[in-house]
Amino acid sequence: MFDAHENHWNNWNIEIWKIKKLIKDLDAAQGNGTSIISLIIPPGDQISRVTKMLQDEYETATKSQSPANLLGAITSTQQRLELYGEVPPNGLVLYAGTVLTEDGIEKNVNIDFEPFKPINASLYLRDSKFHTKALFELLSSDHKFGFIIMDGNGTTLFGTLSGNSPKVLHKFSVEDPSRKRDREGQSALPFAGLFLARAAGFKVGLSDIRMFDPRLGAKILDIYHTRFGEEYAFDVAIRLSLETINIVNTIPERKLLGKYSEEIRQDPRRCVSEVDKTLEALEMGAIEILIVLDFLAIDRYTLKNTSTGEVLVKYLNRYEERDKDNLCDSATLGELVVQENMSLVDWLANEHERFGRVLRFVTDIIGPGFLFGKQFGGIGGILRYQPEDGKEKKVTIDFEPFDPMNALLYPVHSTFNTEAMKELLQSDHKIGFIVMEVDGALFGTRCGNTREVLYKFTEEEIKYRRKGHERGEPLSPHQYAWLQLRKRDRAIGKTIDLAPQLFSDPATG
């Protein structure tokens, strides 16, 4: 099971892949003349404004006797906008126009969608190609990085970088006594990492400052040196930090591929790789996490045998597609007619939820991703269980536990229920507890999951016992401990009451 953070990362990973694929497809498209429209409307804008702009554009194009393709693209864009009563909360992205296929045939393209997160760009361009530069904003990580810039003039700047958006939070001089630091809410550090920069004239090493908050130490990713301070040093530090930030942003991928490699090292049967084995395990429901290179060059073919009418599926790479033997059944010599052909990655993105599995895309621009593509074919999975070639296998296990078990269990389920077995993993150490209240005390122990109340006294009973003790009757060790704890509480309470008289407030002298 995955927690909310894991589910968010999984969904974000797939949305990022969709944007990458869209950018790749649009960049590869070539229009016929200036008949391609790229339109991005940021959140808070008005549909009516854009509609009027397009109407003016259409009238101008009509008067100048522009090509029919351009008029068609404007009309198509207007029709798409009519589907939206207002701009969606994250903005609106729309691409429309006529492109040329590899065979030189014209094809109409109409794409409109709300991004998975807000897009701040505003764009309207009419060109012979789609403009996708603004979409790269959606690929930036949501991680926030902190920057502290200090120079020899006593000026300190606090800033953040989230995605491509830098922001100066505070800037002040240590010589300005009126500027006091607000400590409210400063205990939380919502940064994926922290960068420090010192300008010329600042002689002390930042990481060596004794007054530097130790909570920030674990967050420091790097320290830079610049010739100037303030905003200039902030910009320089951002440029210098990009490589480190890219590494931090790929940590989830590195952890996932590291886990995959570790599972294979411990037991190769825990994982599966290569296309055929992975998809067979996927169909059986044996895969827990499916890992795929984001641009794996393998297509999924749905083929029909002209001799037998049988429909089968093949997975072919770019080289196998050129081999005509793959489109012929060697057993029946029947021709295999292509009924459907689509990228395997596209098919997995659309169908993975049907199998109830987690799909994660990785990229080969990082070292572990490159090795995953070379060694394992760019596709693999971490298994929930080890499939036995599709054959059923009876399993019977019985034994006497080495420690007594208090559980009574007889469930009928599709999986083994091992929750009760965890009781055996508990330590045999016995831990004592003393619970005190105003009018009594409780002494108990816990051993594993077993709790036991040893003694429970009220204050009246202790007073009665104490009088008996004064008459020569001994107190039990638990009664004596209770009395000592009561004395300690009274001493602490008295100290608290006397504290204002013993100490003076440094602020008031």
CATH label of the domain that carries residue 302: 3.30.1330.30
Task: Provide the domain count of the chain.
Answer: 4
Q: Are residues 234 and 315 in the same domain?
A: no
Could you give the CA distance from residue 1 to residue 20 in angstroms, rounded to a whole number?
28
Q: Residue type at 140? A: S
Q: In the structure encoding, which two tokens stand for residue 490, read together? A: 């009274």
177 in a structural domain: no
**CATH number of the domain to which 122 belongs:** 3.30.960.10
Q: Are residues 98 and 221 in the same domain?
A: no
pLDDT-above-90 percentage for the chain: 13
- Total H helices, total E strands in the chain: 11, 19
pLDDT attached to residue 211: 53
Could you give the CA distance from residue 10 to residue 220 in angstroms, rounded to a whole number?
27
Q: Are residues 2 and 103 in the same domain?
A: yes
Q: Are residues 34 and 103 in the same domain?
A: yes
265, 299, 314 — which closes off a domain? 265
Q: Are residues 245 and 302 in the same domain?
A: no
Taking each helix axis from N to C end, the angle separating 477-502 and 459-470, rounded to the nearest 10 degrees, works out to 110
Q: Are residues 244 and 283 in the same domain?
A: no
Q: Are residues 127 and 167 in the same domain?
A: no
Long-range contacts of 57-63 (CB under 8 A, 24+ apart): 57/126
pLDDT attached to residue 260: 92
CB 417 within 8 A of CB 320: no
475 in a structural domain: no
Q: Are residues 277 and 307 in the same domain?
A: yes
409 in a structural domain: no
Place of tokens 């300008």: 199
456 in a structural domain: yes
Average pLDDT of the residues in 390-398: 62
**CATH number of the domain to which 202 belongs:** 3.30.420.60
CB 100 within 8 A of CB 31: yes
Q: In the structure encoding, which two tokens stand for residue 12, read together? A: 């974000």
Could you give the CA distance from residue 473 to residue 173 in angstroms, rounded to a whole number?
72
Could you give the CA distance from residue 161 to residue 141 in angstroms, rounded to a whole number?
10
5 in a structural domain: yes
Cβ–Cβ contacts within 10 Å for residue 242, how many? 10
Q: Are residues 245 and 165 in the same domain?
A: yes
21 in a structural domain: yes
180 in a structural domain: no
Residue 507 pLDDT grade (very low, low, confident, very high; cuts 50, 70, 90): very low
pLDDT attached to residue 175: 56
Could you give the CA distance from residue 264 to residue 95 in angstroms, rounded to a whole number?
44
Interior CA angle at 34 toward 28 and 37, to 5°? 70
Taking each helix axis from N to C end, the angle separating 251-266 and 367-376, rounded to the nearest 10 degrees, works out to 40
335, 362, 383 — which closes off a domain? 383
Q: Are residues 17 and 128 in the same domain?
A: yes
Within 197-327, where are the H helices? Answer: 230-249, 251-266, 275-283, 318-321
Q: Which residue has the higher pLDDT, 124 or 411?
A: 124
| Domain interval for residue 253 | 141-171+191-265
Could you give the CA distance from residue 192 to residue 358 in angstroms, rounded to a whole number?
25
- How many CA atoms lie within 13 Å of 147's alpha carbon, on the beta-carbon side? 31
Q: Are residues 135 and 207 in the same domain?
A: no
**pLDDT above 60: residue 463:** yes
Q: Which residue has the higher pLDDT, 406 or 119?
A: 119
Is residue 110 helix, strand or coil? strand
Q: What is the pLDDT of residues 82-136, one digit of tens each?
A: 889 899 999 999 999 888 877 778 888 899 999 988 888 899 998 888 999 989 8
480 in a structural domain: no
383, 402, 430 — which closes off a domain? 383
**pLDDT above 80: residue 477:** no
Cβ–Cβ contacts within 10 Å for residue 331, how many? 8
Q: Are residues 131 and 35 in the same domain?
A: yes
Secondary-structure breakdown of the chain: helix, strand, coil percentages, each rounded to the nearest 5 = 40, 30, 35
